[in-house]
Amino acid sequence: MRATENMDAEPRNPLPDQAAAVRSGGARRPRVLVATGPTHEPIDDVRYIGNRSSGLMGTAIAAAFQARGYPVTVVRGPGVPAVPECGDRQFVTAADLLSVLRAEWPSHEVLVMAAAVADYRPAARVPGKMRREGGPITLALEPTEDILAGLTANRRADQYVVGFALEHPEELASSAIAKLQRKRANAIVANPLATMNSPDVDATVFFADGRSATPGRTMPKPEFAAWLVKLLETQHLQ
Amino acid sequence: MRATENMDAEPRNPLPDQAAAVRSGGARRPRVLVATGPTHEPIDDVRYIGNRSSGLMGTAIAAAFQARGYPVTVVRGPGVPAVPECGDRQFVTAADLLSVLRAEWPSHEVLVMAAAVADYRPAARVPGKMRREGGPITLALEPTEDILAGLTANRRADQYVVGFALEHPEELASSAIAKLQRKRANAIVANPLATMNSPDVDATVFFADGRSATPGRTMPKPEFAAWLVKLLETQHLQ
């Protein structure tokens, strides 16, 4: 692991710790909520705007937390398979995802927001099937809800939020840090665009206190997921 | 099977028969090309316009032909699994699909066009990742190639084309027959919209000579596929 600052320093944005566990009635591990996969925003009954997220990163992270004994709930998008031995919820649209996360978030302490949310959806859904006509047409789009910002704005002091950013390589750090601050997350995992729909990842984790860490090489997503869970544990989880 | 006309009548639009097999050098079965699954038309490097086709109908038909001894090539879209013991080609966009079908069609005698092609694609692909901005935006769309019409227009006399139509139930027959004629197909399988992404189908087959046939009930797609292959054999294949 390569760290840009001393990773042994006292974390200023700790994950829920034993104190939280004691408050909640026992020395149990924090409950982890992982959102993963694409959103599909309907244009009509058959067509939609989607994105190429495979859900691999989020499901690998869920499996890595689960393997280390954390109770995990997975909230997964279209085409993403369930993760064994985890709680299971599904979504299609960004609005669905926000609704599920709002319902689940109060009973969890850690949110890993790895879902790839469409930033835009069709402003109006055409009933039935849009007919093919002769020439060009235009599709009016409106912004979807800002899901991560909505959840972090109301989070409890014992809740910890890890976001994801998919960025152009040349502005990876600056865009990710801007997103981390804008979304008020505790940490953000920044990936180059090539990560999407790939089995491998070359990511850097930025924390709200200014530190960052990276494995320093491209690795399979399950290997990165195990590294990330250990990083978060080393820093924050007791 | 319920038929609206006498299904034993001499077919006016025969599938490739023994004469074609003799011409091609032996008493072999016609080679079948099956296109199935959705197209994805990129908006930028991560987003696309897709449709909810699962590819189940086409892969079931490919498997049914293969099980009855036909050589089959499957041309499949994103997210559709390969069909065992069949030739395998893949596509993402409508343009890809047209390119693959143009290359494969000359070496096949039967085309089953079960792919769900986007009628529209973004007029321009945004390089990288489109940024989220504050307000509504519009997306300019242009029509995609008319794939089926392009292939039927140049087909040999020994080639037979089966299309698919996904229609509103109340105009199923009229829309399907209009599409059959417009696309110059030999037969068209008309499904109500509810078929898409469903394990079941309630379809009617319309032939270019005016006849039609239907199993008369909703059935699992593999069962319908076996029925369809036998229907085509009874009518056309020796």
Write out pLDDT tens, residues B183-198: 999 999 999 888 777 8
What contacts A63, CB < 8 A, 6 or more positions away?
A83, A84, A86, A222, A225
Q: Residue A98's pLDDT is what?
A: 95
Averaged pLDDT for residues A64-93: 97
The answer to whether B18 touches B27, Cβ cutoff 8 Å, is yes
CB contact under 8 A, B139 and A141: yes
Number of structural domains (chain B) is: 1
Integer angstrom CA distances of residue B115 from B6, B51, B99, B147: 30, 10, 14, 10
A41 or B17: which leads in pLDDT:
A41
Mean pLDDT of chain A: 86
Distance (Å, whole) CA B31 – CA B21: 10
Q: Residue B134's pLDDT is what?
A: 67
CB contact under 8 A, B119 and A132: yes
Q: Is residue B225 part of a domain?
A: no
A contacts of B136 (beta carbons < 8 Å)? 123, 140-143
Q: Which residues of B have a CB under 8 Å from any CB of A?
A: 40, 43, 45-53, 79, 116, 118-120, 123, 128-130, 132-143, 166-168, 193, 196
Q: Which of A46, A53, A196 sits opposite B166 (nearest CB)?
A: A46
Distance (Å, whole) CA B58 – CA B195: 12
Q: Is residue B219 part of a domain?
A: no
Q: Residue B167's pLDDT is what?
A: 85
Q: Is residue B37 part of a domain?
A: yes
Mutation target among B40, B41, B46, B133 for the A interface, most CBs of A within 10 A: B46
Q: Which residues of A have a CB under 8 Å from any CB of B?
A: 40, 43, 45-53, 79, 116, 118-120, 123, 128-130, 132-143, 166-168, 193, 196
CB contact under 8 A, A49 and B40: no
Q: Which of B46, B130, B141 sits opposite A52 (nearest CB)?
A: B46
> Which active-site residues of A does the annotation give?
51
Query: pTM for the whole thing?
Result: 0.82
Q: Is residue B164 part of a domain?
A: yes
Retrieve residue B23's tokens: 């011409």
B contacts of A129 (beta carbons < 8 Å)? 166-168, 193
Among B6, B51, B186, B197, the one annotated catalytic: B51
* pLDDT tops 80 at residue B44: yes
For chain A, the residue count is 238
CB contact under 8 A, A138 and B140: yes
Mean pLDDT of chain B: 86
Percent of chain B with pLDDT over 70: 86
Q: Residue A131's pLDDT is what?
A: 73
**Residue of chain A with shortest Cα separation from B197:** A46
Shortest distance, CA B142 to any CA of chain A (angstroms): 4
Averaged pLDDT for residues B158-183: 91
Ranges A64-73, A121-130, A154-163, B210-219: which has the least confidence: A121-130
CB contact under 8 A, A193 and B136: no
CB contact under 8 A, A141 and B138: yes
Q: Which of B43, B120, B196 sits opposite A137 (nearest CB)?
A: B120
Shortest distance, CA A132 to any CA of chain B (angstroms): 6
CB contact under 8 A, B123 and A136: yes
Integer angstrom CA distances of residue B127 from A26, A178, A193, A197, B45: 51, 21, 11, 17, 7
Percent of chain A with pLDDT over 90: 63
Q: Residue B15's pLDDT is what?
A: 53
Integer angstrom CA distances of residue A135 from B122, B144, B191: 13, 10, 26
Q: Is residue A133 part of a domain?
A: no
Q: Is residue B209 part of a domain?
A: no
B5 or A151: which leads in pLDDT:
A151
Q: Is residue A130 part of a domain?
A: no
Q: Please, which pLDDT band fits residue B27 given cuts at 50, 70 and 90? A: low
Averaged pLDDT for residues A194-204: 87
Shortest distance, CA A113 to any CA of chain B (angstroms): 17
Q: Is residue B21 part of a domain?
A: no
Helix, coil or strand: residue A201 = strand
ipTM value of the model?
Answer: 0.81
For chain B, the residue count is 238
Q: Residue B5's pLDDT is what?
A: 38
Distance (Å, whole) CA B193 – CA B93: 22
State pLDDT tens for residues B87-110: 999 999 999 999 999 999 999 999
Q: Domain span at residue A57?
A: 2-124+138-233
Ranges A131-145, A180-194, B47-61: which has the least confidence: A131-145
CATH of the domain at A163: 3.40.50.10300
* pLDDT tops 90 at residue A204: yes
A contacts of B52 (beta carbons < 8 Å)? 40, 46-48
CA distance between the termini of chain A: 20
A162 or B21: which leads in pLDDT:
A162
Shortest distance, CA A133 to any CA of chain B (angstroms): 8
